[in-house]
Amino acid sequence: MNNDLQLVKSALARFGVMLALTLFSVAMVFVDIFIAKTDILETSFTEVSQEVMLALIAGLFWLSAREPGQRGVGILIGGFFACMLIRELDGLFDPISHSFWLWPALLTAGTCVYRALGYKGAWRDVVSGLARFSLRPAFGFIMAGLLALIFSRLFGMGSLWHGILQEGYARLAKTTVEEGVELLAYSICLGGALDYFLELRRDLSRFDDLTELQISSPAKARRRAAAAELEPTV
C-alpha cells in the first residue's frame, strides 16, 4: 500500500512539474506578444527561454554522467543538447561568418564522443546505459519533446503558412506558432532531464542505505554475541 502511494505521489509530482513548464512556455509567448512586443526575434523572452532550457538539459545530463554506469550515455545526450544550444545561438556567431556556429558544435560533439567512447569497454557501457535509460519515465519525456521539436520545424514551414493564410500571410503568426511549440518541446525535454537526474540520485541514495545496512548488520550481530558471552550464567 505504501509503495502504491509513493508511485501515485511520484506521478502527481511529474505532472505538476510538466504543467508548470507548459504554463511557463505559454507565458513567455504572451509576454513577447502583448507586453515586450519583441515579434519573437532572437532576443525575445521565448528565444532566451529556449536557450536557458537547452543549457539546463545539457548540464543535468552531464551531471548524471558522474553516477555509476551513466558516464557514456550522460555525456553523449548532454553533448547532443549542447550542440542544439550552439545552433540556437547562431546569431552570436554570424558576425564572424555565416554558419560559423557549425565549428564550435563540431568541437563540442567531437569532445563528447571522445570522452564517452575513449576508453576500453566504452561501447558496452554506453549500450548498457542507454538500455537502462530507455526503461525510465524520462526516456518517454525526451522522446516526446524531440518529436514535438520535429513537429515545430515541419509545421513552421513558410510554404505551409502561405497556403493557410494566403493573402493574409503574416510572418509573426508563423513565428509565434513555430517558436511556441519549440519552447514547449524543450520544456518537455527539460522535465525529462530533471526527472532522470533526480531518479538517479534517489537510486544512489537507496543503494547507499542498503550498503550501509549490509555492512552494519554483521557488526551488530557480533556485538550482540559478545554481549551475550559477557552475561553471567544462571
Write out pLDDT tens, residues 15-52.
999 999 999 999 999 999 999 999 998 899 999 999 99
What is the model's pLDDT at position 206? 67
What is the model's pLDDT at position 91? 87
**Residue segments in the chain with a per-residue pLDDT below the cut of 70:** 1, 206-234
- Using the structure block, give the residue that is written with the C-alpha cell 558544435: 105
What is the model's pLDDT at position 185? 98
SS3 labels along the chain: CHHHHHHHHHHHHHHHHHHHHHHHHHHHHHHHHHHCCCCCCCCCHHHHHHHHHHHHHHHHHHHHCCCCCCHHHHHHHHHHHHHHHHHHCHHHHCCCCCCCCHHHHHHHHHHHHHHHHCCCCHHHHHHHHHHHHHCCHHHHHHHHHHHHHHHHHHHCCHHHHHHHHHHHCCHHHHHHHHHHHHHHHHHHHHHHHHHHHHHHHHHHHHHHHHHHHHHHHHHHHHHHHHHHHHCCCC
What is the model's pLDDT at position 3? 84
Backbone angles phi, psi at 38, to 5 degrees: -90, -10
What is the model's pLDDT at position 120? 87
What is the model's pLDDT at position 217? 52
What is the model's pLDDT at position 54? 98
Q: What is the pLDDT of residues 157-188, one digit of tens each?
A: 999 999 999 999 999 999 999 999 999 999 99
What is the model's pLDDT at position 230? 41
CA atoms of 196 and 73, how far apart (whole Å):
12
What is the model's pLDDT at position 80? 98
Q: Which amino acid type is present at position 205?
A: S
Q: Which amino acid type is present at position 34?
A: F
